[in-house]
Amino acid sequence: MARPEKNYVQPCFEGYPTLHDLLDRETARHPERPYFLYTEDDKPDEIVRISMLELNRASHRAATEFSKMEGYDAKRRENVAFIAMLDTLVYTAAFYGTVRAGLVPFFMSPRLPITAIVEVIQRSSCTRIITTPTLNALTDKVISEIQAFDASTQIRRDFVPDLDVLFPHLGKETKEHEFQAFDQQIKEAEPEDTYFFMHSSGSTGIPKVVPQNRRAVAGWADRVYYKHWASLTPSVCLAVMPLPVFHALGILSLIVGPITSDAVMVIYPPTVKTPHSMPYTPSPSSVITHAKRAGCNQILTPPSLVHEWAQNPEHVEFLKKMNSVLYAGGPIVPKVGDRLVEQGVSIVCIYGSTEAGVVSTLEVVCHRVPNSWPYMRIASNIKRRWIDQRDGTSELYLLRTKEQTPSIMNLEGEEGYATSDLLEPHPTEPDLWKPVGRIDSVLVLATSEKVVPEPLEAIIGAHPSVLGIVVFGRARTSVGALIEPRPGYLKDYTLESIAKFRENLWPLVQQANDQAPAYARIFKEMIILSNPDKPLPRTAKATVMAKAAFKVYEEEIDALYEGINSTQSGSSSAKTSGATNLADKAEVEKWLLAESKDLLSKDIEPDTDLFYQGFDSLHASFLRNRVVQVLSSGAHTAASQTLPLDVVYENPTVRKLAAAISAHVVQPDSTQNTDGVDAIRRAIETYSQGLSAKEPSKTPTTVTGPLAVLLTGSTGNLGAHLLAYLLEDSRVAKVYAHNRTSTGTKSIVERQKDSLVEHGLKDDLLKSEKLVLIEGDLAASQMGLPASVYDHLLNEVNVIIHNAWKSNFNLTMQSFAPFMTGSRNLIEFSLASKNSSDLRFLFTSTVASLKSWKEPTPVPEESLSDPAVAIGGGYGESKYVVERILQQSGLSSSTFRITQLYGGRETGRWASDEWVPAILRTGLRLGSLPSSEGLVSWVSLPDTAYVILDDALGETYGGANVYNLEHPRSVPWDTVVHHLNEAVVHEGIIGSLLPLVPFAEWISQLEKIAGEANAEALQEMPALKILPFLRGVAAKSNQQEPRLGDQPAFKIDKLMQRSESMSKMRPLEKENAVQWVKYWAGIGFLKPITT
């Protein structure tokens, strides 16, 4: 917003002036210039302006009040601990007041554990605590702990002056009002003396004490972004509501910014007007509301609020109007940032530290440089050195100069600060850098807080039931624990047994939580137990390798957060019984009290604000999820899906929340049977609704011009081969590879490269000008893509190969709903395409879609209308649904029912969690392998890709085709087993061939073991875990041409005519088995058997 001053000139920092001197100078120059703006909720249209004059006078009054404290000595420079729950307005005045009075304040977070507060007070030699009455209980304990350690230690306690003492004419003070400046002569801090203290994150429970001197703080003030702000018209009007003053970012924006840059800061209104009042509770909506009222043109925020705002279209519209949305302290989830930038939001990454302040430029680069919003540029006047870590990242060293001085010097041989931060250069703009982590194990949360996992892991890991533990949570809003149970402590992996295990462990988790900051607390919902067949990776010293463990359990961790973060989430692993009558407000209130007590580990008052009692955004989120879980598990599914996201914020007491929930509950909906044929039929009806059901033209069409292919799932096994061959084919001009948005630390480029390398494919294909890697969500609107990208694809794409699907044979059909939705979205895209009349749509289905084919004759190459043929597992049933809706779409299409796939000759890569390697590993331990008279018709990944592309890139195309893709030359199962048997001998895994026994007999041996199998047995003999599936494999075939087990035979005549590659397929040979065994042995899945 514009203000009267023109030609603003920054103050001089020569001699390293104090902050309170700078405030005096700026007040003398511009007394009427606003320092803070805010609006009251009961007077939303009235902007209250706190001028430089009024803020400065308040700081003088604060200094005067502090000088009245018992034992105060203006010449002493006493170190004082400042631990307070205050409005930003009063906190800022008190900040200036303490240093003006000659005190050396240590600004501390009241959320630190008591042990941490005691430790840093002792380290910094503080002899006094300045606090607020709301923290009496906390400071009582702190003083008691200090005196228990040393009875002779005297710690005084004093209180921050009240709002009306510091601001007697709130928002209206002028030069004419009576005023007495603080006039005592104090002992001023020298440039190298400690001016005030701050602390590091405190995630370990023992934060680092960071003394700040005048020289360092003057360097903060003399940064390029303040110079830039000072030149802007209109001036910067920055929303800083969520920022606490005790953080470095708070001091830089609330203290340094207004006195060095002509910027005005927008804050919450003061609400602490009585001894027991609490400051304004931040929420995503209230930050936007107050920013709108005050006319802000920039916002400064932690990433967690950006994630919340991104879900609200109205909030996004407001953010688009901001000159910049500055975020700091942690990463934003990539897909959230990408979508906001595509919508026109100017996101700016801020980089800095408590030891050096903000050292980045704050410039907006996201609209100028592609894929740059998570990156920042180090200011030109910051001397630095990059230490290459040889993994694509570098550690940043900040070096001392006359103008810029880090607060901590930890380099040997020179003055400077080793940040321990790892940053990654932008691929095309090398002076742009993205913070990606730390050399140590600190987890940087999306809330800007930092968590060191070792203390949590040490306490929880001490429980006798815990064999191993790693704490996770980088770039998330909460932390969790991945725990490996010790053998014998977990009966089985039923929900009941898992819940019991957690309950037994919970007292120790609470103990760990008590030692950690509030934001580092582990909730019951956030505990994952490892599976016996996926033990946590360990070093030679038997310690858990955290990064490797995260990679092994990446899918489970992602699924956990997806469930927790879903707006309709009922996902919870916490044991909760729920209220039996949700329409009964009293019963709901009783249940909410119990759940709130469980979340906070203390008794809850029903009429007292939950946030006053200790709730924060995490507690609110988990309580809402538990409410949704209870609604979902009962007869109130509709209510669970419409429960407002901010229901806890809007109803912040248990009594109000109980009333809101009871009022929200609707009449129970009738439950539907989601199993069997009816469920499949309903799914077909749901996902085909609105389709024309017309048949596509059977007259073949020819694409005139270059082929532009949209390939989904290119990072998967088959997808990687399809991508590689498409890029090498001269008929293809462009390949748009659509994959799910990266949620881990690896970018889509890294994920695609890993997939190509694992399969022995050329990774330099990623440099092809044909390739465009895009990330999104097929189940989302416009496939999770920015509108500009979606529209471009509508105009360009004329071939679609839909290959993205979750490979999990244990899930029900309903769990594949996102994939069925994504398939329908792709069909909608195809119908809306400019090229819809001759577009080619290929879908990679599975032979499992016809699991219940009972006829003795082979499955025909046509769509089958009876859904009963698909019964047999959610994976195949969901693909059957898509096959059926594709037939009704009117598109020219091909559905490929694909047989069992195996690794090609390049690497022999065949996932070790599939059933064939499970049989081999189990057979090695059992001492025999299963025999059968049946035939198998498996196809290699390369051959499968070539067959699909024969169809996709054929000269002509037309009709709604269904193809069965299996090998034209079947081989006996026993031949495959013989090849495997010889291969394990050849590779030295066993000394002699294993005997073959009838499959049914082999299964019987396993069943005898299964009853007494422990975790070790399940790991060594993984076939024990898939016995129901193997019983089907062992069944007697009813096919005219005997197949292995209950698998049907398939006609392939049409595909043989369509694909030249089908006739060229080499039969499965011994060399294939040798390559598989080498691969499995190479990854440690198969190990030599010693006798």
The β-bridge partners of 348 are 326
Q: Which residue has the higher pLDDT, 751 or 48?
A: 48
Average pLDDT over residues 313-324: 96
812 pLDDT above the threshold of 50: yes
Residues 530, 601, single domain; the answer is: no
Report how many domains make up the chain: 4
Q: Tell me: the pLDDT tens digits for 259-310? A: 999 999 999 999 999 988 999 988 899 999 999 999 999 999 988 799 889 9
pLDDT band at 580 (very low <50, low <70, confident <90, very high): low
* 404 and 500 both lie in a single domain: no
**How far is it, in rounded angstroms, from Cα 1063 to Cα 1060?**
6
756 close to 763: Cβ distance less than 8 angstroms:
yes
Residue 414 resides in a domain: yes
The letter for the amino acid at 962 is V
Bin 1000: left if φ > 0, else alpha if -120 < ψ < 50, else beta.
alpha
Which H/E stretch holds residue 717? helix 717-728
Average pLDDT of the residues in 951-962:
92
Which residue bears the tokens 């059933």?
Answer: 915
914 CB-near residues (< 8 Å, 6+ apart):
none
Domain annotation covers residue 318: yes
Confidence at residue 454, expressed as pLDDT on a 0 to 100 scale: 73
Query: CA 902 to CA 889: how far, in whole Å?
Result: 32
Neighbours of 504 (CB within 10 A): 14
Q: 994 with 919, same domain?
A: yes
Residue 929 near residue 920, CB atoms below 8 Å: yes
Q: Which of 41-45, 549-553, 882-886 has the lowest mean pLDDT?
A: 549-553
Q: What is the pLDDT of residue 878?
A: 93
For 139-174, write each residue's pLDDT tens digit.
Answer: 999 999 999 888 888 899 999 999 999 999 999 999
Average pLDDT estimate for 53-77: 96
Range of the domain at 217: 19-425
Which range is least confidently modeled, 509-518, 886-895, 967-976?
A: 509-518
Read off the pLDDT band of 814 (50, 70, 90).
low
- What does the DSSP 8-state code read for residue 251? I
HEC assignment per residue over 652-664: CCHHHHHHHHHHH
Surface-to-core class of residue 278, CB atoms within 10 Å of its CB (0-12 exposed, 13-18 middle, 19+ buried): middle
Res 331 pLDDT > 60: yes
In a domain, 864, yes or no: no
Strands (E), 274-407: 298-301, 324-328, 347-350, 352-353, 357-358, 384-388, 394-399
The confidence score (pLDDT) of residue 437 equals: 72
The whole-number average pLDDT for the span 449-462 is 77
More confidently predicted of 1091 and 402: 402
**Residue 779's pLDDT is what?**
83
- Reported as a pLDDT band with limits 50, 70 and 90, residue 672 is very low
Beta bridge mates, 840: 799
Same domain, 47 and 184: yes
C-beta separation of 619 from 600 below 8 A: yes
Q: Is residue 267 included in any domain, yes or no?
A: yes
747 vs 119, more confident: 119
Q: Are residues 389 and 533 part of one domain? A: no
Tell whether 295 is covered by a domain.
yes
Angle between helices 19-29 and 52-67 (to 10 degrees): 140
pLDDT of residue 206: 63
What pLDDT shows up at residue 540? 43
Integer CA distances (angstroms), 437 to 322, 398, 544, 569, 728, in order: 28, 17, 19, 29, 37
DSSP β-bridge partners for residue 347: 325
One domain for residues 560 and 597 = no
What is the pLDDT at residue 204?
Answer: 37
Q: Residue 536 sits in a domain of what CATH number?
A: 3.30.300.30
Highest mean pLDDT among 1-5, 756-760, 1086-1090: 756-760
DSSP-assigned letter for residue 51: E
829 sits in which H/E element: helix 817-832
Q: Confidence band (pLDDT; 50, 70, 90) for 744?
A: low
Nearest CA to 971 out of 940, 933, 928, 1001 is that of 933
Tokens of 97: 């007041």
**Do 1090 and 1030 share a structural domain?**
yes
Residue 398 lies in a domain: yes
pLDDT at 686: 82
Whether the per-residue pLDDT at 448 is higher than 60: the answer is no
Nearest Cα neighbor of 1062 from 918, 933, 965, 958 is: 965
What pLDDT does 27 receive? 96
Residue 3 has pLDDT above 50, yes or no: no
pLDDT at position 808: 63
CATH of the domain at 598: 1.10.1200.10
What CATH number should be reported for the domain holding residue 928? 3.40.50.720
Could you tell me which of 804, 859, 800 has the C-alpha nearest to residue 827?
A: 800
- In this prediction, residue 203 carries a pLDDT of 39
Q: What φ, ψ does residue 359 adopt, rounded to 5°? A: -110, 0
Q: What is the pLDDT of residue 570?
A: 47
Residues 569-582 have a mean pLDDT of: 56
460-474, 776-790, 968-982: which is most confident: 968-982
Cβ contact 152:124 at 8 Å: no
Residue 697 belongs to some domain of the structure: no
Taking the C-alpha atoms of residue 834 and residue 839, their distance in angstroms, rounded to an integer, is: 9
Cα 1072 to its chain centre, rounded Å, is 40
> Does residue 614 share a domain with residue 542?
no
Based on the fold, state whether residues 386 and 248 are members of the same structural domain: yes
Q: Give the confidence band of 673 by pLDDT, cuts at 50, 70, 90.
A: very low
Three-state SS at 127: coil
607, 635, 664 — which closes off a domain? 664
Report CA torsion sign: 21, 26, 28, 29: positive
Specify the pLDDT at position 815.
62
Confidence of residue 391 (pLDDT cuts 50, 70, 90): low
**CA–CA separation, 420 vs 426, rounded Å?**
19
Mark whether 142 and 249 lie in a shared domain.
yes
Q: What is the pLDDT of residue 859?
A: 94
Q: Average pLDDT, whole number, for the chain?
A: 87
Contact 941, 718 (CB under 8 A): yes
CB 510 within 8 A of CB 601: yes
Selection from 491-505, 597-611, 613-627, 842-856 with the highest mean pLDDT:
842-856
Show the CA angle centred on residue 533, arms to residues 530 and 539, nearest 5°: 75
Q: What is 861-924 written as a DSSP string?
A: SS----GGGG-S-HHHHHHHHHHHHHHTS---EEEEEE--EE--TTT----TTSHHHHHHHHHH
Residues 418 and 470 in one domain: no
Question: Which among 640, 664, 688 is the end of a domain?
Answer: 664
pLDDT digits (tens, 9 = 90+) for 504-556: 999 889 888 877 777 788 998 899 999 988 888 875 445 687 878 888 998 89
**pLDDT digits 0-9 by tens, 205-244:** 467 899 999 999 999 999 989 988 988 889 999 999 989 9
In a domain, 827, yes or no: no
Closest residue by Cα to residue 709 from 695, 699, 724: 724
Same domain, residue pair 553 and 589: no
Residue 553 has which token pair? 């359990």
User: At which of 648, 664, 680 does a domain end?
Assistant: 664
